[in-house]
A and B are shown apart, each in its own frame.
Chain A
Amino acid sequence: MSNHASTYEPKSATAKWWDERLPVPRMMHDQFVDFPTPRNLNYLWTFGGILTFCLVAQLVTGIVLAMHYVPTADDAFNSVDHIRRDVNYGWLLQAMHATGSSMFFLAVYVHIFRGLYYGSYRAPREILWILGVFILLAMMATAFLGYSLPWGQMSFWAVTVITNLFSSLDSVIPGLGTGIVEWLWGGYAVSGATLNRFFSLHYLLPFVIFGLVILHIWALHVAGQNNPTGLNIKTKSDSLPMYPYAVAKDAVALFAFVIVFAWFVLFLPDYLGHADNFIEANPLVTPPHIVPEWYFLPFYAILRAIPDKLGGVIAMFASIAILAFIPWLDRSPVRSTKYRPIYKWFFWLFLFACLALGYLGSKPAEGVYVFWARIFTAYYFAHFLLVMPIVGSIETPTKLPGSITDAVLGKSPGKSGATGGGGVPAGATAAPEDR
């Protein structure tokens, strides 16, 4: 909670001088050193720090790559090859940046599912969560734009397929979709003009993400961190100062994560990409299977599951947009799924549905694959629109610990647990922000 009393003491005359004019050291001390963090955070809470690292790593490698990259249809592919062959450690930078996008999404998906499991989207963290949804959207846009830059076959055809989605708007107002598509392309086909503007936007959007991340962290420090119990920090013993406790844990997790990152960069630089992208873009030859990067596959499956083109596009965007509404769709009196015996199963089913959609997105849209993509797409939306409100309303939560401290020290559950007698659990009508 940001309203904890400041404990910052300027130690020198200069520090005091600054503190009276622009108290940045005080803010850093209060928010990142002395900040109270719940004492029961598990390793899933380290992904915020990991994601900050991912963003900075992408910015640094990207800025250096941009010094050598040429955003023209004739030279883009050659310049990326030149970076890998002739720029000092270019092969490393290029692999870090390309693998980095996959690692960024891996971390953000863990981060999102952690939030879903422990109810981190519930009051008073709705704005924090919605900012996260915007960050996800901006990340997707950035990754899509960036994937076009190597100007390989898969780059070119991914841009063609995805920008063409907007042409489905022609069925609403004739000419609207085509107009938007030609405006995006800067011409009548995907061309060098498209590549050049995509490069410009790919350089811009990460800074938008950076701004959103600052707001995200700000909102986090106003509401305070959620934790595995979903209970609020009530007494001083429920929390520990961020430094050294949370920082020490974050550091372990970050380095463990970087091991995975480095494994792909140094031993499997091509594993997360597609071989067709080592063939220069050719508008006259369509690859046999056009598939997006792995992190877009579930959304690609949803897009293709709907028989109508415009419907597919709407479903795909809705699958992200719906996340912004879940703070109000979830009707459970408790935050954490740990205490939700029925919803728990639905959570794992939802995770399975997302993984299944990912697998189906990598398969051709035919036969049994389409059938299952439709089933899991239906569940994806049903989970938010039906399961969250209905299960939340009818389920009786299990006994909650009295406080975070009790949960850590293993004391018996407090007053707010469910009663076995069937009635409304004590305090279930209380606002969730207290539980």
Chain B
Amino acid sequence: MTAYRTVAPLRSVLAVLGALICTGAPAMAAGGEAAHFERHEWSFAGVGGQYDRNQLRRGFQVYKEVCASCHALERVKFRNLVQKGGPEFDEEAVKALAAEWPNKITDGPNDEGAMFEREPKLSDKIKGPYKNEQEARSIQNGAYPPDLSLITRARSVHNEASWYIHVPMMLRDVLTGYAEGGSDYLYALLTGYKEAPQGFNLAEGMNYNAYFPGNQIAMAQPIPEGGAVEYQENAGAKSSLEQNAKDVTAFLAWAADPSLNERKQLGWTVMLYLIITTLLLYFAKKRIWSRVKH
């Protein structure tokens, strides 16, 4: 977090610059309706951000109680929930959680040659409710709830900015380390359910969403106004639509990029080493070249 604070002034100056530049160039959703994606203050944003452990824990609760009824998280193993840089749950608690997980593991064949179902262990993946895509589609009215393990990295926010502000915007994003487009998109999607505007042709069984490409989404609003889950007293936040959406987005950002904390910590060590070495080499070079006129 220290590193984050040292660059904060730079970030805010650049952010103001960017905001000025952005005015008058709204991002367009694929459906044609102007949809502007807000950039949120994620704890893991930018060059110094780190996951907030309490937020990841709340986010896991939202995933478990809301998303997991349709969506798998198979690239994440139960053991990952214990690891450093994640929700860091207690190992015994996760063992119990895995044993109680409603979606069992198909294992086998056993000594009689038959496949059997068993309770998940720490090393098992976090399975969703469906055996395969076909089963999911047949139950979900033809729609397929995707696995969420990589969802924040598999989505992004496109800025349809004019050509002349392309370069300053890219520079701003590179210098501030903006890599949260997927999280911004996901949060906007979860909070973007609205009444369809007059004259909008909504297909049967579909829902209107201001941020989904084409504005028609099969998934019904997953988190109602007021929130979907009861947070514990000491969870660090009150449950609401916005808070639930934010927390589950942060959790899924971790699921997609579990090495982020380590990566950014290492990043500052590497930067410090490289900058000092470059300076030393530069002074060495100056000294060597001072022997000749140049």
The interface of chain A, by Cβ under 8 A from chain B, is 39-40, 81, 84-85, 91-92, 240, 244-245, 248-249, 251-252, 255-256, 258-259, 262-264, 266-271, 275-276, 278-279, 288, 359, 408-409
Contact = CB atoms under 8 A, between A and B. Distances in A.
A240 B292 contact: yes
B267 A248 contact: no
A255 B275 CA distance: 8
B285 interface: yes
Given A81-B150, A275-B155, A252 B281 contact: yes
Contact of A245 (B178, B277, B289, B293): B289
Contacts of A359: 163, 166
A267 B274 CA distance: 15
B140 interface: no
What is the interface of chain A mostly: helix, strand, loop, or mixed? helix
B285 A252 contact: yes
Contacts of A244: 288
Nearest to B289: A245
B264 A267 contact: yes
Contacts of A252: 278, 281-282, 285
Contacts of B275: 259
Contacts of B292: 39, 240, 245
A266 B264 CA distance: 6
B96 interface: no
A84 B150 CA distance: 12
B150 A268 contact: no
B interface secondary structure, majority: helix
A288 B29 CA distance: 12
A84 B181 contact: no
Nearest to B149: A81
Interface of B: 30, 47, 75, 80, 149-150, 153-156, 163, 166, 173-174, 177-179, 181-182, 213, 256, 258-259, 263-264, 266-267, 270-271, 274-275, 277-278, 281-282, 284-285, 288-289, 292-294
B278 A256 contact: yes
A271 B285 contact: no
7 contacts: A85-B259, A91-B259, A251-B284, A263-B271, A266-B266, A267-B179, A275-B182
A288 B288 contact: no
A167 to B, nearest CB: 29
Contacts of A288: 30, 213
Given A259-B271, A266-B263, A271 B173 contact: yes
Contacts of B156: 275
Contact of A81 (B75, B163, B178, B270): B75
